[in-house]
Structure 1
Amino acid sequence: MSSTKSSRPTSTSSSLMQEVVNALPGGYPESIQPPTSNQQSLSQAVYSRRSEYTRPKNIKIKVGTWNAAAYKGAEKDIAWFVDGKGIAEGLTDLTVEDESESQDDAASQDRSSLDDREGVEDQEARYKKKKSTLPKNDPGLLPGGEDIGLYLLGLQEIVDVNSAAEALRPYTDPSVGQKWKSEMEAHLPRGYKFVAEQQLIGMLLLIYATPDVAADIKSVSTTSVGTGLMGYMGNKGAVTARIVLGETTRLVFVNAHLAAGTDKGAVERRNWDYGQVMSRTKFEPISDSMGLSQNIGEGIDDADFAFFVGDLNYRLEGIPGEDVRRLLMLHTRNEYDLSKKQGKKVDKEIARNQASIERRRENRTSTDSGVSQVSTVRSREDDDVQDEDIDAEEALDAVDDPASLHTTLSSLLPHDELHQQQKARKAFQGWQEGPITFLPTYKYDAGSVGVFDSSEKRRAPSWCDRILWRTRRDMLSYESTIAEEEESKRKDEEMKNNGMDEAAKDEEMLYDYDPDEDADESGSYDEYDDAPPGTVITKEGFADEISLEAYVAHQRVLSSDHKPLDAIFSFKYDAVVPELKSKIHQEVARELDRAENEGRPNVTVVVDRPHSNEEGISDDDPLKFEGVWFGEVRYAMHKHRSLTVANTGQVPATVYFIDRPVGPGQHPGTSPSWVSMKIDDGTGKLSSDLSKRTLEPGQAFNVELELRILDVSLARQFNEGIKSMEDILVLRVENGRDHFIPLRGTWLESSLGHSISKLIRIPEGGIRKLQRQRPDSSKSTASAGSAIDDETPVKWSAPRELFRLTEVIEELTIRVTAEWGMLHDPSTQPPPWERFAGWPFVPQSWTCKDDKERHDRLADIVEALDTDVSFDSVFPSDISHIEKLESLAEFFIKFLSAMDQGIVPKDIWTQLDAGLIKQEKSKLAQSAEEQRTWAQEILSSAPSHSISFILITSMLDRIISETITAITHNHPALLAKSPPPATFLVTIPQNLRKKNWAKDGKEAWRQGVGRALASTLYGAMIRGGEEEGQKDKEKAAGRERKIRFLELFLL
């Protein structure tokens, strides 16, 4: 067990500066004072990034209280608190929520070992002062030991406070408190840290924590308030501790001993003691880890979570003590063997109290209804029915059983003074307490489990010892209720003063009130409007949670006339990681210092760093780039980055993005063509409006940057090094300095956009392998030109990419048409090739309609081509074959469209087009085979282009054959009519549809498919043919010749 002094250096969250400027966390002072405002801007900027330097933690807090009544050796029983021992399970309704299965198993084992626990009679028989009175072999029924993160123990009367020597001692004797500390530390698990202590005569407060929780504790402050003799002596009052947990959460622990007595004025004196403790308790100012300190200290009301424990001395009011003692001992007698001495003593006390009750009845003419109620509860001795004789099916729940402990306690609690005072709002306003399911904790005969005061004073049992807690949410809710009531009273008084006529008008207005129409538009925002139930927004703006898991008395602790009491809380809080906070603080401070210019707008731009595990992002970027770093960028790949623009100055700032300076060939405007910008003003909705915005001090907005290059011509420019992936954004601050935000990325060259003459030079491994082998590739951050040049040796007769694409499309077409009938019911779900001519190349037929999803697949296909890996390896595992095929078909068209010079270059098409025109004019009929031979002779002048053309047309011919075969097999009736229906030909533009159809239905359907494919692909394959200045009719004739040219090889 290690200990540290409670006066050790401490700190808390930097947003505690709201105390410096009398504002809420992140707020700003009404009057502008440069030093304070500057610091507040820094605090707000750091606070806005709190998610980066805080981590959530979950712990259990055990809070205990015990009046030791100055009994010697009572400290020997400390295991009741640390290990959860000394609980009489028959005298309490104990429920503990364990969070793990292992805890459940351990608890089950503990309960099974209760049979080995020492009996009540043997325990009482060996009662000796200065010895532990806990039952032997007690496994403990509450979580303890290492399960608890924070222990708080409040003790009262560790010395005799009624002794004049102690009460008037000018100092507190620490020796007794040291005994309790030594016992506590001896029972705590190894490694627990001492956090704080405070003693005032007989009151002692001890706090211990696990090592990891202790590391989160800062700003420890302890103090005492005496309310005893003359209102200031320490025989009564409280000892209190304040800690800041995780630099985010204020916790306050109050251990109190309030005024005793049962006379008429005792309750008011207890209430006065409570008020004195609340008003006079002041802690030392909090200093945070950044060296900022509050001007004044805080009080209990400033806590986020406060625990008020101790011997509060509130009694049971309006009910005779004899009735209560007898009633409760009818329950405690069940813990005893009535044939033994201890059991007989209980019965003797019951009879003694019964006799007193009878005498009182004889001396009065009427019966008190409250006494009658509790006196008519029958004891088990009065009943002839024993527990074991009760039929299980007839047994009542404790709530309904008039003889149950639950019913007994429920009948007594309305007489509890504390509850009455809370209801009357005279004390403990806004505080809450767990359900009381245990016997009153006072007053017992020392050395007994269940014998209430048998001395001549025969004090009435009461719940003197209590554990209450209050969250900041509870306090604000109570204050809001009071304010609303006061406002209501004020309005009532105004109505009375204005007379009945005015009152009637106000009443009419009240009933005509419409919240939607009449509500004050400028109503204040409640920080709990958006907070889920059970969540507490701390003073620093963090969301913490607390819940009560157990609240129980330890009935089998015998060494005092009070029974100990403890509660277990589950607690979730956000803890600051100092190293991360320091780093973020330095980053923000550097930006603020750089932009600091008193009297002028001051804006800070924070670039959100991408995750290091994102593809293409490396923490060891050689350039240590501080702008917007997009990492490695490839075609169709989506990238998202964001900026935060915050007004960190002292005056409003008007900001907007201006056109950036551009060089030759650069796209003008506020951003480059490859980046789109949208702004989120905090509403959650993105806007493309980049016009002026005025930010108040502390306000901010986010700029969302999206990058996805789908423009093939842009990709080609990046490939060739014509364009560089390096640019800037310029944020203009009116009357301030401009902010230049660099943009940078590394373009990964793609096979997309290259000509056939370059594609045939790409070796196995793809163009990416070639780019990586380039000597200057490691130094490039933007683009340095293509990895392919005329000196690169030729590797293939036609582009390998084209071989791969045509092969996989052909294979998938065969597979999809073959398996459709096995996966679908063609009668209810006809395949797309029966509904759309030109499938799978026409967009109308595609299964996937989501643009983002299709673009992501395009990016994957490009990556597979460029890195020479299988297409299956890049597709998601759950994608169907038809979706793969349609994605590849979509990309195939883009690949051909992007190809420099195309499949049929302009010069070759000029020869072919001239020949086709000549044939039309000569009106000499040639067979299709003769025309194909003629065309191939011209194409052969460019062998790579000719082979590529044959690859594509062969693939298309196979697709036509497979789809027509599939239709013939599944729906032969469809092929009976010529021409095909208009719904099938909807994919062909109206001006490109055939006019003359084959009479044979099957051949006509083949013509329809061929025409659809040709009209879809002619523009992607053939270059040239349309000259500037051509008339529309000439252009239409030229398009028709291109389509008929492709049809030669398809039909």
Structure 2
Amino acid sequence: MPPETDPTSSLDQSIPGAFPAALAAASSSTPHSLHQAIYARRAEYVRPKEIRIKVGSWNVASFKDTHNDVASWFVRGKPFDVPSPAFDPAVSSQSAAAPTTSEEVVQDSSVAQEHETDRRKSASSEAESATDVSGDVDLYVLGLQEVVDITSAAEALRPYTDPATASKFKSSVEDALPKGYKLVAEQQLIGLLLLVFASPSVAPEVRSVSTTSVGTGLMGYMGNKGGVAARIVLGETTRMVFINSHLAAGADKTALERRNWDAAQVASRAKFDPIVDSMGVSHVNDESLGEEDFAFWFGDLNYRLEGMPGNDVRRLLMLHTHNEYDDDAESTSESIDPDGVLEPEPLPASLDPASLQATLDSLLPHDELRQQQKAKKAFHDGWREGEINFLPTYKYDVGTVGVFDSSEKRRCPSWCDRILFRTRRDKSAYEQKIKEEEEIQKRDEEMKKEGLDSNNDDEVLFEYDPATDADDDYDEFADAGEEPETVTTKEGFDDEIELEHYGAYQDVLSSDHKPLVAVFRLKYDSVVAELKAHVLAEVAKELDRAENEGRPGVTLIVERDHSKKETVDGKQQSFDGVNFGPVRIFEAKRRNVTVANTGQVPATIGFFGQPGSDEDETKLPLWLSMRFDREPDKAGAAINPHYTLDPGEACNIELEIKIDDLELVRDLNEDRAQLEDILVLRVNDGRDHFLPIRAEWQQSAFGRSIDKLIRIPEGGARKLQHQRMSSDEGKKSKDDRNSDDSNSSPGTRFWSAPRELFRLTESLEDLLERAVAEWGMVDHEEGTPAPWSAVAQNTSGSGWPFAPGSWTFKDSDARERMKCSIADAIDDDKSIEQGFDAEDTSFMKLETLSETLVLFLLSLEDGVVPSELWAKLEAGYDDHAKSKKKPSRDEERTWILEVIGKSPNHSVTFVLMTSMLGRVATEIRNAGKGDAADINSPTSPIKRTLTAVGGRMRSASEAQKSAAQNVEKGLAGALAEAMIRAGEKSAGKEKDKQLRRQRMFRVVEVFVAPDA
């Protein structure tokens, strides 16, 4: 048997009073329509089956060796053809003239005890020779109470359940049962023990076993009182629940209310695991009591005889037990006189005032359980039991026959032990009855609101009080009849149940309670696995054929570059996805994918997460973008857009790859990332299509450290393709590297600073000179200031040509083309000018080259000024602030160079960059000298701007000086944060961040400003 269907797999005991562990809902790819189609053909794979269920309950009162008596009454007892030891009405009638005092009754009962000892020996030998009928029962359900001493604090507060006691009772039952019976459910809660055994023919049909326990004792949750329950499913069609409970004891009103509370707690808190069918489909999250088709509630419910004097009840009952087991006593229902005349049949026992049944019938109206049911306070929602024709099961003197409690307490005999049952039909009838009563009461209230007096016979035709009138029409708590009852199960099958026997075993003497047994005959529809498998195969085949005909289908057509063979790592590959081939930094490459609806129905498509993921949101890799040639079905759907294609219709998807994230560039250079991914094209109600994406990264000088850049061989970073530079080499000093030069690869040359920066700065200075010269040769719109002019510096042009706000060249496509060409020239160690087109102006080249230089500085792993050097500079500035002694510009320069000089490569690079910025500042200052000369001109844009900003006229020298300072600050601000790595300490208050930013600008500005 598979583990998921093995009923014994759920026999692990739960913590006392705990709910069952949450069960994850079983997932299944089987469509719900498959389950419905199979259910529609259920008549083909179910067959009627009839079984007997024996439910037994016994409070063993924690007496020793009670486990030895379980088999004698629970397994080997014969409740079908041989009645349980009951009372002969004729004998009971003859006993009416017996002594009437309690002392006499006890004395005579003692004599009867001697007769009983001999009788039991004889009966025992007869039972051994009799035919064993235990095999006629298919389900043995045993509920025991007080298997341990629940009054003991040590037992009640024990953090675990000792299995030794339960094992004794299990072994006793297993030894008595015929071979092949299997324990399918077990649950223990301190003194409560529930065992369910199944015959060899039924055990394989038991599925979805779930057990639970509910403690209602001390503090409302301890396990000294409460209930244990088991849920099973028979034949995949019939749900059954067995509840063994021990409710609060006591004969006063408080104890009665506590019993009702205990029962309500067990009913509301008992939870079972979800039922998973044979196809692995879970239909509910969990199940509560009331979802089953048949329920059996048994145990020591502790309900007493309300308001009855204990002495009188004991005397009355003991009159009937006197000489009960007298072997000479005989009873006949009819006789024939010597003349052959048939005498009249005697009265039934229930009509004979002197019979035991008449006595029982007179006591039962005082039974608290029946009273609470009528009052709708407990067990009123459909629960019922068989006819009671046996003596009360509590309380007896241990080891005696028919001797009720003779202790000092003299407890009143009561039917404390009960077996109740309820069908789905019973519960539905109760709910319908309550609904009808509520509707009648609602109509009555509406009539009163309309002014109709229910006491006025002229206005109201009849009066109805549900609390009193309902009892005259229907008694839902009457004893269960003997006729089979048809019940429609939750799965839609028609089952039959019949109570065949309900009685107690009076000859069991080892406890002060008498064991109780109820036997039911159940006829249910059982699933035949082989027939269901055949139906499942046919239904699946039919659904598959119908689904394929109406299932949407699409075809993907991937564009390929046929001008050259697509290769990976230099080798020709067979690749069915999108191959972008070699990809360089800042380069944009595009490929088209066509999706065509080749099915017969509309297809709704959309891209989703990775294969096997549960995410429905489209998550493309950072380096990939996607564009459809149509609008999505839902306008503005940015996340998870859908597109619907009619049959024969197609759409185009443009995929673009572009590597411009500097962190990703570093990872690609170090082989920590790959340009590979798989996109999932999901077709609603169709199959998914997987679209692999691939590209080959071309090594770049961007994203490396200065120590690595100075070791790049001749020919540029592309020479490193499929290689990986050792990080240890980058840590060597310049002398060490020069000494190892003989061992370096051919063409390797170590530079004092990255030659990429040499190329970038040289080209930038040359283009700046040409751009400034060309400005005056080109016609501009009147009033347009030069980007380096004082007007521009006072508005948005600060930091030209490095600051984005100062750029005059706005064509993004041309800028991206030129930026890619510059980066490509750097990585291939070629002239930067070769990458420009003839129509590119000096301004276009300069501003794009300036942007590329800033990106290159930002991409450096360690920056021009590493974080460890900046920490020393920042500490020095803190010391200057504390001493309140401001160093001169020369002193500040010397100090900065001393700190940065501890890393020679970074020091040379720093000087290279600041020298370049100084020359750029000088060029801009010289170009702007003429702007101040026209300051007094009425039409001068400089005059208009300075007046609006400063509110007063300034001299030409003041304007020139102000413009120069703006140039220095702007250049320093544009490159300082790209050159310096401030480290993790950058987080903090805004005031601290601003101070750090000013210091970073100052480190660069002090070298950009000209000498005094």
The interval holding the TM-score normalised by the smaller chain is: 0.3 to 0.5
Structure number, greater radius of gyration: 2
TM-score when scaled to structure 2? Answer: 0.45
TM-score when scaled to structure 1? Answer: 0.43
